[in-house]
Amino acid sequence: MSFTATVKDEVSKLDIPETEKISELSAIVQNNDYSNGIKIVTENNSVARLVYSLFKDLFNVYAKVSVRRGYNYSKNMLYTLEVKNKVADILKSLGIIGAVPENFIYADEALLMAYLKGLFLMKASVNDPKTSRYHLEFNLDNLEYAEFIQKSLNYFHLNSKILHREHRYVVYIKEAEKIGDFLRIMGATKAVLYFEDIRIYRDHKNMTNRLNNCEQANVDKIIETANEQVKDIELLKRMDVYDLLNDKEKEVSEYRVKYPDASLLELSQIISMETGNKITKSGVYHRLNKIRQLALKMKEKNKSEN
């Protein structure tokens, strides 16, 4: 079972007040065919059971249920629920009059949450955070409705956006934290725990990788700098100007050649320990910089003479 199906299975089994059930069913019907009776189609058995119960409990209507295998690639079972009785009264009670439902359907926060939950059951998909990038989307039929849904989602600060894809409009959320918030809004507790566990693990793994990459970059930089310093010392010796260095600079140069992979801090600690003469990291840097400046002068002199 996909993560989307798992979430829908959990959400469809939540017990909510009757007023919220009306908002939930409103979203479900709004996103199906109600031009000639009401026809609800879903691949999820739990959602089909929920829709059947909502019609029965709210309107004392028993939907006709049929099941067949779908024609899509996955060939999942399709559950179709049809209602032919009281259709006009049901649509009126559900606030379905056009592209956007009547205000009483989403008049307060709880009703809006219920409406978004019903929409999720019909039109949403959410990626499994373990196997793919973070992404939740609603595939909708027209722009006016898509803008209404975007506004509704962003009421809860979910930072949703709209994308026009062929003849449809996709309202989507890509931020992991916001997707987790939406699952929490719907009351999908198990899905939230699963999602957050994976998100925390991935964030920790990404942070560790970044730290490792940063550490490796620092190591590479240290080695590169140390190699340049060793080359400067070798240059001074080849050009017979090594003795222009004072004793302290010679001491640091000898330890740099002896420990070419050591950082400045490590080099200062080694020199302090082996010679008994305390020297700081900045002291090592200062002396190596003096060597560097002398090496640069000798390179310039060599260029001018040639």
Residue spans of the chain under pLDDT 50:
none
Q: What is the pLDDT of residue 215?
A: 67
CATH topology of domain 3-187: Endonuclease I-creI (3.10.28)
Q: How many CA atoms lie within 13 A of 24 on its CB side?
A: 25
Q: What is the pLDDT of residue 230?
A: 86
Q: What is the pLDDT of residue 210?
A: 75
Q: What is the pLDDT of residue 96?
A: 93
Angle value at C-alpha 30, between 26 and 35, nearest 5 degrees:
125
Q: What is the pLDDT of residues 30-63, one digit of tens each?
A: 999 998 899 999 999 999 999 999 999 999 999 9
Q: What pTM was estimated for this model as a whole?
A: 0.67
Torsion-angle region of 166 (φ positive above 0: left; ψ -120 to 50: alpha; else: beta): left
Amino acid (1-letter code) at residue 8: K
Q: What is the pLDDT of residue 39?
A: 94
Is the Cβ–Cβ distance between 139 and 49 less than 8 Å?
no
Q: What is the pLDDT of residue 74?
A: 56
Amino acid (1-letter code) at residue 248: K
Q: What is the pLDDT of residue 119?
A: 96
Dist. CA 73–CA 43, nearest whole Å: 13
Question: In the beta sheet, which residues pair with residue 138?
Answer: 124, 171
Q: What is the pLDDT of residue 21?
A: 95
Domain coordinates of the chain in residue numbers? 3-187, 217-305
